[in-house]
Structure 1
Amino acid sequence: MFSSCQLRINTLVRTLGFPILLVRYLQEIANATNVDEDDAKKRSSVDA
C-alpha cells in the first residue's frame, strides 16, 4: 500500500516537478541575460 502510494507520488513529482524546475532554470537564465532590456522596456512603457 505504502509503496504504491510512494510510487504515485514519485511519478507525480517527476512529471510535474521536472518541467517546473526546467522553466525556472530557463527563466533565471533569461532574466540574467535580459535584465537591462526588460528594465528599459518597462521604463519606456511607463513613460509612454
Structure 2
Amino acid sequence: MNAVDAPRQTGVSIQPIDGQWAVRIVENGETIQRLFEEEQFARNFAAG
C-alpha cells in the first residue's frame, strides 16, 4: 500500500502528561503535539 492508497487519519486528543496537558493532532497521518499548563487552554486549542 502506498501513501496515496493509505487511509487518511485525522483526530484530536487531549491527555495529561507529567503535570501538563498534551493536545495531539493527527492529520493525514502526521502527528503534532503541543503542551499546555492549564487544561482549559488545551481544550480551547483543541476546539479551534
TM-score after normalising by structure 1: 0.21
The higher relative CO (CA closer than 8 Å, separation ≥ 6) is in 2
Q: Could you say which structure has the higher helix fraction?
A: 1
* Structure possessing the higher radius of gyration over alpha carbons: 1
Q: Could you say which structure has the higher strand fraction?
A: 2
